Structure 1
Amino acid sequence: MVSVLLLFAPVAAALFVPMLARRVKAVHTGWFVLAVPLLLFIYYLGYLPSVSDGRTHIAELPWIPSYGISFVSYIDGLSLLFSLLITGIGSLVVLYSIFYLDKTKERLGNFYVYLLMFMTAMLGVVQSDNVISLYLFWELTSISSFLLIGYWYTRDRSRYGALKSMMITVFGGLMMLGGFILLYLMGGTFSIRELIGMAPELVQHPLFTWALVLVLLGAFTKSAQFPFYIWLPDAMEAPTPVSAYLHSATMVKAGLYLVARFTPIFAASELWVWMVTSIGVLTLFWGSFFAVKQTDLKGILAFSTVSQLGLIMSLLGAAAGAFHAEGAAGTIFKFAGFAAIFHLFNHAAFKGSLFMIAGIVDHETGTRDIRKLGGLMALMPVSFTIALIGSLSMAGLPPFGGFLSKELFLTGMLSLRQLDLFAPASWGTILLVAAWIASVFTFIYSLYFVLRTFTGKHKPDELPKQAHEAPAGMLIAPGILAVIVIAVFFIPNVIGKWIVKPAVAAVQPFLFDSPAAVDVHVAAWHGGLTPELTMTIGVVLVGLLLFWLLPKWQGLYGLAPEALSLNKLYDASMYLAEGGANRLSRTYMGGLIRNYLIYMFTGIVIIILGSLVAKDAFAISFEGLSPVGPAEIGLILVLIAAATTTLIARKRLTAIISLGAVGYTVALLFVVFKAPDLALTQLAIETVSVALFLLAFYHLPKMSRHDEKRKFRIGNAIVAGAVGLMMSLLAMSSVSQRALPSISEFYKETVHSEAGGGNIVNVILVDYRGFDTLFEIAVLSIAAIGIIGMIRLRLTRKEDGHEKQ
């Protein structure tokens, strides 16, 4: 239970942040917020010994037990790895933001509330065993990301980037929900663990492929895979701490987590291996190629993130390939699974530090434009050192952790040629070659980022601010990440034992039955010229040559027509959707209430009469009904006459009086049928209504039909007749047939014993329909608040002299 409640600890702490931001202005709000992720990180560290031994921890908090929906915290190697990243990187990001965000100029309360909300959402995603609660947290990540990206909401690009990210990721989330529902229909459970146990049976189900594609759509949109990556570069309008947290270490990796978590279910499908691997390699190539085109530091890192996410995605696809390998060949793919998790960890470290350095450069020089930067190495030596460590690790060079995971990546790509699934073997070779070319561009953009920023000629005249080294506090967080990048190179197997192997065992349970069975030993040197090392040497040589010749071929990027880009396609689709929606709404939103009523009544008639016809629900019987005497007949005739008078009246006063006659006649009918409570209610309502009409009589507009010749509209008559027929048939059919006994008997039997009341009508309204009455009160309260708001707005406009005459 404790681990479930801790999922909500960040969002619970967020409730106090606005108060702290307002009242404790002498201290930066981030110092109070820092305790939340730091304590959670320490708590999750306590799970390392047991999880590394192969044990799992489950806690459950019922939510909607009748539907099998609950909050389930499931901590195994995979979820623990992500939980440590979320809280560990989160702690460093909060520490960094304390020095990055000015407490006198920024809305810190909003920022930290959004950040803590996102932290809860991500923890919920990676620990949820129930797919419905996973979806709830998944969409919460999109909402909180929208708020964080649009934090500087006065900027057009911030609003654009926030909306773009939410539109694409929410679309993917809805597709993913469809896949979850299909999985439930196939397996009869919302539990991921139980679905994994049913995997051999699920793969035979006709809905299996549809569920697979829908789940992948959710994963691809969240993890910025091709062609959905276009939201990530625009999300760079967010403050740098947000970019470092969401777009390098956590949110963009939610899609990777989803693929990793559901690999044991879908790995049996060849389509899964094909789609995950090929889309991953395509995204790796596409992102690395276009990263060199960018001139904004965060733009370079955005496309490099797209590229690195594609790398990890391709490795997860290769890891699923172990399910289809024959005999001992399957063990080749253990390197792919290990490489995916290992590089995921490395990427969070070096990319987080690089985002923070990009923010430092922007903070201390006033620009991120790489064309204006250069020569900062002497002015910002510490920042340069950290940037160099992160960049060389991203490039895959020793002695940094990125070199080890890049070697394992090449091993995983080489293993694809051993898989019959990619027969003919040329397909495996094509993917391998594409991955190698992408590695070359990865090397280029890594050098491009660090050397163009810190080396070369210094251009002080082009900088908005005089460049200088960042404060020590701002360098702590990226410095810690840089130390981790170096440490990983020298103690990879320690990290592998405690963090990576338990996660690999969760991703490839069909290959390993425990973390101890993951027999992968990481080393920087294997004692010879291996194919991986040969490919790395080729990457370095070709990368250096192309980087040297960069000014000669970088102009090629300008040859691609901008109108054919995916961003233009997105913008065009949004404009088309908005314009089409406007044109559609104008066809029926004419401003006449009469037309709106026609639309609503027509829809109701079609649904109800259609259902009655489809279900053959007509069964009219007059047995057991009360007799109709002369009094009832007389009142009904009066009622018809009054209603008709209301319709044909040419004067407003006549219409009001006849409408009141309709209501009072209905009240008399209630009296005749011995329903005094209803009669009193009806009389009160009619009295108040007629009084209000008369009070407002002077201000009512003239009747539009007062001076014009009445016209008979056949369409209106058909709709009116259809509504009358529908209500008559529905009432007679419902009275004539009862699938269940009348609930009135239950009320009679329990009104004294259960509700303790004497008046059955009052008890029904207050006790049996308590929630209904509560909601009615809530609706009235909301309406009252809206009316007060409009009145105040009108008064404010009058005071400002803006009231239209």
Structure 2
Amino acid sequence: MTQVLFIFIPMLAAVFIPFLFKSIKNVHTGWFVLLVPASLVIVYSTYIADVARGQVFTGSLEWIPSLGINFVSYLDGLSLLFSLLITGIGSLVVLYSIFYLDKKKEQLHNFYIYLLLFMCAMLGVVQSDHLISLYFFWELTSISSFLLIGYWYNRDKSRFGALKSMMITVGGGLFMLGGFLLLGIMGDTFSIRELIAQAPQLASHDYFIWALLLVLLGAFTKSAQFPFYIWLPDAMEAPTPVSAYLHSATMVKAGIYLVARFTPIFALSEVWIWLVAGIGLLTLCWGSFFAVKQTDLKGILAFSTVSQLGLIMSLLGASAITFHVDDVSNSIFRFAAFAAVFHLINHATFKGSLFMIAGIVDHETGTRDIRKLGGLMSIMPLSFTVAAIGSFSMAGLPPFNGFLSKEMFLTAMLAIKEFELFNFNTWGILFPVLAFMASVFTFVYSFYFVCHTFIKKRNEKYADTVHEAPIGMLVSPILLASFVILIFFIPNVIGDLFVKPAMLAFQPFYASAAAIDIHVSAWHGFTPELYLTLGIVGLGALLFSTLKKWQPLYQLWPQKFTLNHAYDMMMIGLDTGMNQVSRSYMRDSMRQYLLYMFTAISVIVITTLFVTDAFSFSFEGTAPIRLYEIILIIVLVIGVVTTLIAKSRLTAIIGLGSVGYTVALFFVIFNAPDLALTQLVIETISVALFLLAFYHLPKLTKINERMRFQVNRAVVSLAVGAMVTLVALSAQSQKLFPSISKYYEETVATLAGGGNIVNVILVDYRGFDTLFEIAVLSIAGIGIFAMIKLRLTRKGNGHENK
């Protein structure tokens, strides 16, 4: 249970943030927030050695035990790696935000509450073993990221980007929930571990492909895969710490985590391999190609993130092929699994540092437009060094960690074209070709980012005003850049401690992490991968040197043929269409709204009764209808009709009163004196109030003009009456369970100590219900009194002013 509580520590800490923000003015709130992720890093670090040896830690916390839904924490190599990334990068982001966000100008308590809420949600996603709790945290990431992206809510673009991200990711999450429910039906369990154990049986189920597709929709939307990537560039309107956190190491990696976690279940299908590898590679190419088009620093990084996520996704797809080979230990595709996890770590380090540098440039120069920047290398040497390290790693150059995972990526793509299963030997040639072209454009946008910002001819406008960022703002990107270099020289330490244990989660063929025979080195001799790398560098350098000549070609593509335009048109169309639908029935008339509601209810209920054969009519067990009851019914009907057709207000009031008093007589006949007395009191008071308000009511002729007889209203009224009658008769005729009244009769004296069954039910059995009803009436009375008092006060003030 303690392990589960670790997930909720950020959410619990968020409760105290507003008090700290208001009570401690001289200290930045971020210093207190920093303690949360930093402490969690230390806690999760204590698990590294045990998890590396193959140990798994579980914990459970009851949530909805009646439905078997609990928060079940499952900490293995994969979830531990993600937990360390979430808390580790989170610590550096909080430290960066302390110097980036002005405590006097920003609503820091809101920012840090959203950030901690998001951290809690991500920890829940990567540690949940129960599908329903995973979905709960999954959508919580969408909500909290919506709040973070829209943090500067006074900006139109921030609100638009936040809404766009939530619409797409929440929509994908709903599809994913459908897949989870299908998995639950197929396996008769919502435990991920138990479903993995049943994978061969699930693969033959009729729902298997549908579950696969629905789960992938959730993963693709969250991890910005084609064509759902369009939310990510617009999310760049968030503060830079948010971009560095959500879009480099956490939120966009949630879909990556989902694919990795469910690979043992779905990898038995060729559809999974084709979709994950194919869509990943398409996303890689698309993102890298359009990253060069961007002129905003964070826009370049956004499309580069899309590209890198596609690279990891394609590696996960290639790694799934190991489920279809005989000798896994010698399969080349085990390198794809290793590279996917390894590049996951590498991407978090170099992309996090680059986002922070983009924020620093914006903070110091006041712009992120790369066309207005240049020559910052001599002015901001530390920022340039970090940017160069991150960019060169992203380009796949040595001696940086991105080079190592990029080489393994090329190895996996070359191997796919030789694989004979699923016709990869026919279409597989596209994989290395597209991988090569995408890597070329990755080289171009990496150099485009760093060279046009720092090396290009200086923009004299900033010559005297720009300076290096404060050291506090540089600490986090420098640390991340240090990891970029360090990992290059100790890749096998990282591999043994983090990558191989994580591989076991989606490569369950190995008995332990030690059994995974992969050794990473920077030099493998003269191999096809080396020749491809030389080609990437050569062609990339050529394209970058001629960038000014071919970059304008991007402008030739019409805006109306873009996915963003399609999304905008869809949203505008939905907005316009829903407005037209709303205007068709929103007539500012309560009578009209009730007409719609009663019509819908009547049609649904009556249709259900007869279509499903639910209606039943039987007089068995009912008391006989006596003569005086028939007379009272006739009086009741006459009173109702008189009230409706009366031309005199006094006649209508008398008719209405006769209806109420007749109902009271029915209560007397049926031995319900309490109800009869209540009804008599209410009717007497109502008639008295009507007469007192007689003078203030509008003229009857105007009411008659508005309330003239209408056939549609009469039909709906009769339908509602018929519906209630049919339901009452059917309920009386089909008693599936014994009446609870027998229980009241037997226990009213022995358990409640009362003699009047109605009073005992109201006071004892329904005590809280009655209490809350009284509370509602009291609140309404106080509200009415306050409004009357306010009106009298205003009148008095107006009189005095006169």
TM category (shorter chain) comes to over 0.9
Q: Equivalent residue for 2:467? A: 468
Paired residues of 2:270 and 2:422 also in contact (CA < 8 A): no
Offset at 1:718?
Answer: 2.5
Q: Equivalent residue for 1:609? A: 606
Over 3 Å counting, the alpha-carbon distance change for 1:269 and 1:777 in structure 2 is: farther
Give 1:72-221 correspondences, 5 Å limit. Answer: 72-221=72-221
Q: Equivalent residue for 1:567? A: 564
Over 3 Å counting, the alpha-carbon distance change for 1:362 and 1:752 in structure 2 is: farther
Letter in 2 for 1:751: V
Paired residues of 1:460 and 1:466 also in contact (CA < 8 A): no
SS of corresponding position for 1:423? helix
* C-alpha distance after superposition, 1:531-555 (max 9, x if no partner): 1111111111111110000001001
* C-alpha distance after superposition, 1:393-417 (max 9, x if no partner): 1111111111111111111212212
Question: Quick one: distance in 2 between partners of 1:398 and 1:789?
Answer: 74
Question: Quick one: distance in 2 between partners of 1:796 and 1:420?
Answer: 87
Q: Equivalent residue for 1:457? A: 457
Paired residues of 1:650 and 1:705 also in contact (CA < 8 A): no
Offset at 1:203?
Answer: 0.8
Letter in 2 for 1:365: T
TM-score, normalization: structure 1? 0.94
Letter in 2 for 1:397: L
Give 1:776-791 correspondences, 5 Å limit. Answer: none
Give 1:559-598 correspondences, 5 Å limit. Answer: 559-598=556-595
Question: Quick one: distance in 1 between partners of 2:373 and 2:665?
Answer: 87
- My pick for the range that moved more, 560-569 or 612-621, is 612-621
Offset at 1:692?
Answer: 5.3
Offset at 1:630?
Answer: 4.1
* C-alpha distance after superposition, 1:550-594 (max 9, x if no partner): 001001100100011111100100011111111112222223333
SS of corresponding position for 2:70? strand
Offset at 1:518?
Answer: 1.6
Question: Quick one: distance in 2 between partners of 1:246 and 1:660?
Answer: 66
Over 3 Å counting, the alpha-carbon distance change for 1:545 and 1:422 in structure 2 is: farther
Question: Quick one: distance in 2 between partners of 1:516 and 1:696?
Answer: 88
Question: Quick one: distance in 2 between partners of 1:789 and 1:408?
Answer: 73
Over 3 Å counting, the alpha-carbon distance change for 1:17 and 1:752 in structure 2 is: farther
Question: Quick one: distance in 1 between partners of 2:700 and 2:17?
Answer: 56
Question: Quick one: distance in 2 between partners of 1:483 and 1:771?
Answer: 62
Question: Quick one: distance in 2 between partners of 1:545 and 1:750?
Answer: 91
* C-alpha distance after superposition, 1:232-267 (max 9, x if no partner): 000000000000001111001001111111111100
Question: Quick one: distance in 2 between partners of 1:285 and 1:797?
Answer: 68
2:264 matches 1:264 = yes
Q: Equivalent residue for 2:629? A: 632
Letter in 1 for 2:742: E
Question: Quick one: distance in 1 between partners of 2:392 and 2:598?
Answer: 68
SS of corresponding position for 2:331? helix
Q: Equivalent residue for 2:541? A: 544
Q: Equivalent residue for 1:532? A: 529
Paired residues of 2:329 and 2:516 also in contact (CA < 8 A): no
- My pick for the range that moved more, 425-434 or 145-154, is 425-434
Paired residues of 1:68 and 1:189 also in contact (CA < 8 A): no
Question: Quick one: distance in 2 between partners of 1:250 and 1:695?
Answer: 67
Q: Equivalent residue for 1:518? A: 516
Paired residues of 1:650 and 1:706 also in contact (CA < 8 A): no
2:746 matches 1:749 = yes
Letter in 1 for 2:504: A
- My pick for the range that moved more, 532-541 or 770-779, is 770-779
- My pick for the range that moved more, 448-457 or 739-748, is 739-748
SS of corresponding position for 2:333? helix
SS of corresponding position for 2:104? coil
Question: Quick one: distance in 1 between partners of 2:150 and 2:628?
Answer: 68
Offset at 1:269?
Answer: 0.8
Over 3 Å counting, the alpha-carbon distance change for 1:626 and 1:558 in structure 2 is: same
Letter in 2 for 1:215: V
SS of corresponding position for 1:8? helix
Offset at 1:707?
Answer: 5.3
Q: Equivalent residue for 1:231? A: 231
Match of 1:673 among 665, 670, 673: 670
User: Mind listing any 5+ residue stretches in structure 1 that lack a counterpart?
Assistant: none
Letter in 2 for 1:360: I
Letter in 2 for 1:249: A
Question: Quick one: distance in 2 between partners of 1:793 and 1:433?
Answer: 76
SS of corresponding position for 1:375? coil
User: Mind listing any 5+ residue stretches in structure 2 that lack a counterpart?
Assistant: none
Question: Quick one: distance in 1 between partners of 2:784 and 2:214?
Answer: 44
Paired residues of 1:68 and 1:190 also in contact (CA < 8 A): no
SS of corresponding position for 2:73? strand
Over 3 Å counting, the alpha-carbon distance change for 1:268 and 1:708 in structure 2 is: same
Question: Quick one: distance in 2 between partners of 1:686 and 1:304?
Answer: 74
* C-alpha distance after superposition, 1:148-204 (max 9, x if no partner): 101000001001100000100110010001111111111111111111111111111
Offset at 1:737?
Answer: 2.7
Over 3 Å counting, the alpha-carbon distance change for 1:740 and 1:217 in structure 2 is: same
Match of 1:720 among 703, 717, 720: 717
Offset at 1:373?
Answer: 0.6
Question: Quick one: distance in 2 between partners of 1:127 and 1:60?
Answer: 11
Question: Quick one: distance in 2 between partners of 1:295 and 1:704?
Answer: 70
Question: Quick one: distance in 2 between partners of 1:616 and 1:352?
Answer: 63
Question: Quick one: distance in 1 between partners of 2:320 and 2:565?
Answer: 35
Q: Equivalent residue for 2:736? A: 739
Give 1:794-805 correspondences, 5 Å limit. Answer: none
Paired residues of 1:322 and 1:330 also in contact (CA < 8 A): no
Paired residues of 1:248 and 1:347 also in contact (CA < 8 A): yes
Letter in 2 for 1:150: G
Equivalent residue pairs, number: 798
- My pick for the range that moved more, 740-749 or 248-257, is 740-749
SS of corresponding position for 1:71? strand
Paired residues of 2:142 and 2:170 also in contact (CA < 8 A): yes
Question: Quick one: distance in 2 between partners of 1:40 and 1:519?
Answer: 31
Q: Equivalent residue for 2:640? A: 643
Letter in 2 for 1:673: F
